[in-house]
A and B are shown apart, each in its own frame.
Chain A
Amino acid sequence: MSNQEPQNQEKTAEEPALEKRRRFIKGAGVAAPVVLTLSSPSVFGALCTSEIMSGNDSQHTGGGSCAKGYPPSYWKTQTSFPFPYNIASPASRFDDSNAFNTNSANGQAKIHDKMKDILDNSTSAAFPYYIWVTALLNSVSVANYPFDRGDIINLWKTNQPGLPNNDAGKNALLISTWS
């Protein structure tokens, strides 16, 4: 399947009105990426958060449920990270404000390591920060991933209702979200 060419190239009497309307954007507000989305059922089963939590790993056909993310080994071999994170220049770090924003001021470990280094050194780290980096990168790049970026960050910062409330449980939950 290829990209289609624009269907309607002819100017009409409505074009000037459209031009005038299009040029004005009101205020700041919240960005609405799409006006309308139509979904068609997927024949490829994927797990949603509830199924992941219950440990149901069987494939099934569903109505367009969640998709699994990429494993740490995938992100380890990438030459770029998905927006808004960078492998280099400047390298994104675990404690960046758009990442986990860790802060040593309140007794919490700062974790200033680069995300790339965390992935590369995953086998030697005392705590598996690479799991969180992997989940974060998946959250901004995988369509229908069970968690969005805010979910991952909130899960790191506090316990979330209905989700594991200890490190081991949270780590296991995130691991279950990729193949």
Chain B
Amino acid sequence: MIKDCAIGFPKGEVVCFCFWGDECVIYHQLSGETHLIDGIGALIFKLISEKTATRTQLLQNIDSVFELDIDFDREGYLNNLILQYQKLGLLAVMENSPA
């Protein structure tokens, strides 16, 4: 089981973001890449732009904003998104949850 963890923007790296409706554009300075993100991904960055969030908090927000199929693996979906965004350098995951 993946334990809860804190998710936020990476320290020491430059990530610039902007939101238009339910879409998000993020620029990662080190890689020089600009990403257009929508859906649940945009919600993740909207939330962590306000403050560091735990995985549990992200799941709660996803449940409240989106209508999901009953067989939708929301935890697996979120875990994969977190992994992908971490790999792109757009967010950082800390083992300990924020106080």
Interface residues of A (CB under 8 A from B): 1-4, 6-8, 14-15, 18, 22-28, 31, 33-42, 64, 80-84, 86-90, 140-145, 148
Taking CB atoms and an 8 Å cut-off, the chain B residues in 4-31 that contact chain A are: 5, 9, 14-23, 28-31
- Chain B contact residue count (CB 8 A cutoff): 53
A27's closest neighbor in chain B, by CB?
Answer: B69
Partner of A3, one of B31, B49, B89: B49
Minimum CB–CB distance for A8 against chain B, Å? 6
Does the CB pair B83–A8 fall under 8 Å? no
Interface majority SS (helix, strand, loop, mixed), chain B: mixed
Cβ contact of B84, chosen from A18, A33, A87, cutoff 8 A:
A33
* Chain B residues in the interface with A (C-beta under 8 A): 2-3, 5, 9, 14-23, 28-41, 49, 65-69, 71-73, 77, 79-89, 93-96
- Chain A residues with CB under 8 A of B3: 86, 89-90
Main secondary structure on A side of the interface with B = loop
Nearest Cβ in chain B — how far from A86, in angstroms? 6
Q: Is the CB of A23 within 8 A of B65?
A: yes
Whether the pair B32, A22 counts as a contact (CB closer than 8 A) is no
Asked if B31 and A22 sit within 8 Å, CB to CB, the answer is no
A36 to B41, CA, bound (A): 13
Contact B40 A140, beta carbon cutoff 8 Å: no
Q: Is the CB of A144 within 8 A of B31?
A: yes
* 6 A–B contacts from the bound complex (CB under 8 Å): A8-B21, A34-B41, A38-B35, A40-B34, A64-B32, A143-B30
B80-A83 in contact (CB<8A): no
